[in-house]
Amino acid sequence: QATAAANAATVVVDFPNFFALNASVTLTVAELASVTGRTTPYPNVAGFQGGVATLGQVSCSGEFQRLEARATGVLSDGTSASGSDFYEHVAWTSSDPGVASFDSAPCAA
């Protein structure tokens, strides 16, 4: 047996004619309401605030700085998720992979 409210469901489990046990739990249903993205230097730079908009060349090496793309998701109940367990599952794409390309998982240290 289950009953539902606008954003919640109560689920009742019982064992009629077998056991004198039953239980119920109310589950809140939340949907992903918004996602925001940001970039941060990789490796991490202590005290860095904001996002990375320009990647500079590292000395005269021909290599450029690297960044890590991160995302924050806000659910319809107001809670948010922004740790790697969330942003590892966000797919990032670039309009020009020759300039910027992404692996959907954070960089390994």
- Residue 108 DSSP symbol: P
pLDDT at 55 over 80: no
What integer best gives the mean pLDDT of the chain? Answer: 78
Q: The tokens of 88 are what? A: 């590892």
pTM: 0.57
User: Rounded CA gap, 55 and 65, in Å?
Assistant: 5
Determine the average pLDDT of the residues in 73-79.
89
Q: Are 65 and 41 in contact (CB under 8 A)?
A: yes
Identify the CA nearest to 100 among candidates 50, 37, 29.
37
Determine the average pLDDT of the residues in 79-87.
82
Predicted confidence at residue 107, as pLDDT, reads: 47
What number of helices (H) and strands (E) belong to the chain? 1, 6
